[in-house]
Structure 1
Amino acid sequence: MIKKVLVIRHDKIGDFVLFWPALHLLKTALPQASIEVFVAPAVKSLAEACPYIDHVIVDTGDDQAISAEFAARQYDAVIVSLSQFRIYKMIQHLDIPYKLAPKHNWYQYFYKHRADAQYKKGEGCWRGGCMLVEHFLAAHDITIPPHPTQYWDMSAERPRWQEYYGKQDGEKLIFVHPGTGGSSGSLSTETFIKLLESVDSKSRHKCRFVLTFNGDEERLAEEIHAGLNEKGTNAVMAKPLNELSDFAKSIVAADMFIAGSTGPLHIAGLHNVPTVGFYAGRRSAPKVRWQTLTQSHKRLAFTPPIGKKTGRNMDLIDLDAASSGIADFLNTHYSE
């Protein structure tokens, strides 16, 4: 009987969020087991808020101490989602009956149990984590549960968070994260201002644009905020929140989330909030690979022309077409 499972996923926020479907499968299939995760420090509070996780171990960088903690917790299985040689060295001597790693990198052959985690063309990269967990469940003759339409139900807290962000009667809260996590390019300040002003004028709804930010992105958000206010567009700066988990929960207030940064977009996807993503124009189709976890009819994406010289230049996106598309997207979901 499996009583305790360790999952290794110690990387960026967006990558961790895209592992939630896999965690959902694992916890739903093994409701009595303790599902525990090894994560990066930046992800700690979000991992603690995840309804599919029972215990969180943070990557302190002290491999010897971490390995000792793994050993003390006496796991029945470990699923290595983010496979590194460092991780192999940390767990190789541990008395864990079942160790599963993905089939990539030369050291995969040190693991007795390996699984194909290469998602197919046309699938989101979140499928890779699910493939690992599905292999694990099948190997233990455990039924693979179906996926839900929403991975994080915070609907009971939606009115409180809408009040926090100052929503007035009849308004739609449009969250906008103008920064980028590095996976894509970024719209210029001037382009963002023009885009949001145009969306506001074309939408049938009263919009309140909430500009979210993190760290150095505050300056960019302030510039966009000032530009929109000059144009008479209703925009506010998001009130700061101390923890990533609080920000993640607060996104339930949004009626739409617009960003080029995949991390915040993916968090919005957990709530099944309609998302509008701006992705790099690459042949690898990032708008498909990095698609959010919202239902397909609630996703909209824009890219500049594909190419080395054009793919990261977001200002090459047809602004008029994008603003019309976003306004129509908003009107469709909230038809009067």
Structure 2
Amino acid sequence: MKKILFIRYDKIGDFTLSWPALSLLKKAMPEASIEVLVSPVTKAFALACPYVDHVIIDDGDDQGISERIKEREYDGAIVSLSEFRGYKFLKPANIPFVLAPKHNWYQYLYKHRADHQYKKGEGCWRGACMLVESFLAQNGYDIPEVTRPLWNVQQQKPKWQQYYHQKNDEKLIFAHPGTGGSSGGVPVDSFARMLIDIDKQTKLNCRFVLTYSGEEERLAQQMHDLLVASNIKVAMAKPLSSLAEFAESLVAADMFIAGSTGPLHLAGLHNVPTVGFYAGRRSAPEVRWQSLSADARRLAFTPPIGKKTGRNMALVNFDKAAAETAQFLNTFYADDISE
């Protein structure tokens, strides 16, 4: 196979979670052109992905999309986002091997189908990997392992450390107020107090960088003012021109703390240690929506499980979270601690 299409034209976060799957595809088929169909908002980020060779944009013109797919003469396609609409613009292309997930009635429109239901205890990013693994196995390719970092831009790290004004032996601890998805918002005062406690309890020289998007700037400014009042080294992150640029810049982070899964996933591309706040539910969103960092580089905290408590982030034990995060930093960066 010389040209493969991977279809994921919804949200940026869902495409981010596809990076492990795309990495498997590229490792198994290094000579093939790995191409993606994505939403317009995801275009720049998809172009930045080291495993993607060409991008098709879902501009809403289904006939035009279908024609562009047919023109590319794909040998295979993987339908990570399966909708009847997608089937309609794929069908005229007559791609020899199309693999779709076993999902909804239109799965039966495809000859080749595969399970994409990840196991209990696995992150949801495994679903796309399962599709790619099935695609590779059915076409006689060896299945590689997911390795980290998923985005190796270590050569750019000094540039971004300078951008975020790191000095000497400082560790850059990124924090993102606000929230996304099903979790309730983390109270700014509790979040700020946790960062203050981390600074007191860690043996490292920390500098906190507050990131935000849109209306979250107000929350970040509140947190900034609380930290400044406690004589904590902190700065508001300077805005960058694009999501792709922001995502690359997170290679400078020594830890990323957030109650929003989106930025946690971006930090996870670099295998940055992450601390996430998740809703307290029996479905274990802290596992399902875990960051892309390796298991040993992730901490997660939730309020008590329950309908009345699960979304109330004020009920998180922030004292415990601060202590465990500080201990993690002391252990993980032990070689950087001055005696």
Q: TM-score, normalised by structure 1?
A: 0.97
1:326 matches 2:334: no
Q: Amino acid of the residue matched to residue 334 of structure 1? A: Y
Aligned residue in 1 for 2:56: 57
1:270 matches 2:269: yes
Q: Return the offset for 1:219.
A: 1.4
Aligned residue in 2 for 1:219: 218
1:294 matches 2:309: no
CA distance in 1, matches of 2:258, 2:94: 44
1:141 matches 2:146: no
CA distance in 1, matches of 2:208, 2:55: 35
Aligned residue in 2 for 1:230: 229
SS in 2 for 1:170: coil
Whether the aligned pair in 1 keeps the contact of 2:116 and 2:131 (CA below 8 Å) is yes
CA distance in 2, matches of 1:103, 1:208: 47
1:315 matches 2:314: yes
CA offset digits 1:249-289 (Å, max 9, x no partner): 10000000001111110111111110001111111111111
1:160 matches 2:182: no
SS in 2 for 1:179: strand
Aligned residue in 1 for 2:206: 207
CA distance in 2, matches of 1:334, 1:283: 33
Aligned residue in 1 for 2:131: 132
Whether the aligned pair in 2 keeps the contact of 1:280 and 1:314 (CA below 8 Å) is yes
CA distance in 1, matches of 2:149, 2:60: 34
Aligned residue in 2 for 1:252: 251
Whether the aligned pair in 1 keeps the contact of 2:179 and 2:186 (CA below 8 Å) is no
Whether the aligned pair in 1 keeps the contact of 2:36 and 2:55 (CA below 8 Å) is yes
CA distance in 2, matches of 1:152, 1:83: 26
Aligned residue in 1 for 2:91: 92
Q: Return the offset for 1:226.
A: 1.4
Q: Amino acid of the residue matched to residue 275 of structure 2? A: V
Q: Return the offset for 1:169.
A: 1.0
CA distance in 2, matches of 1:59, 1:261: 26
Q: Return the offset for 1:33.
A: 0.9
Aligned residue in 2 for 1:20: 19
1:186 matches 2:185: yes
Q: Return the offset for 1:116.
A: 0.4
Q: Amino acid of the residue matched to residue 306 of structure 2? A: G
Aligned residue in 1 for 2:172: 173
Q: Return the offset for 1:175.
A: 0.7
Structure 2, unpaired ranges of 5+: none
Whether the aligned pair in 2 keeps the contact of 1:183 and 1:262 (CA below 8 Å) is no
Q: Return the offset for 1:186.
A: 1.8
CA-based RMSD = 1.1
Aligned residue in 1 for 2:120: 121
Q: Return the offset for 1:149.
A: 2.9
Q: Return the offset for 1:11.
A: 2.1
Q: Return the offset for 1:21.
A: 1.0
CA distance in 2, matches of 1:311, 1:164: 38
Q: Return the offset for 1:62.
A: 1.7
Q: Return the offset for 1:58.
A: 1.7
SS in 1 for 2:178: coil
CA distance in 2, matches of 1:85, 1:308: 35
CA distance in 1, matches of 2:256, 2:277: 11
Whether the aligned pair in 2 keeps the contact of 1:24 and 1:151 (CA below 8 Å) is yes
SS in 1 for 2:179: coil
Whether the aligned pair in 2 keeps the contact of 1:183 and 1:261 (CA below 8 Å) is no
CA distance in 2, matches of 1:171, 1:92: 55
Aligned residue in 2 for 1:242: 241
CA distance in 2, matches of 1:166, 1:331: 22
Q: TM-score, normalised by structure 2?
A: 0.96
CA distance in 1, matches of 2:41, 2:280: 28
Q: Return the offset for 1:46.
A: 1.3
CA distance in 1, matches of 2:131, 2:181: 26
Whether the aligned pair in 2 keeps the contact of 1:175 and 1:212 (CA below 8 Å) is yes
Q: Return the offset for 1:159.
A: 0.9
Structure 1, unpaired ranges of 5+: none
CA distance in 2, matches of 1:225, 1:24: 37
Larger displacement relative to structure 2 (127-136 or 179-188): 179-188
Whether the aligned pair in 2 keeps the contact of 1:19 and 1:129 (CA below 8 Å) is yes
Q: Amino acid of the residue matched to residue 289 of structure 1? A: R
SS in 2 for 1:78: strand
Q: Return the offset for 1:146.
A: 2.1
Aligned-residue identity in percent: 61
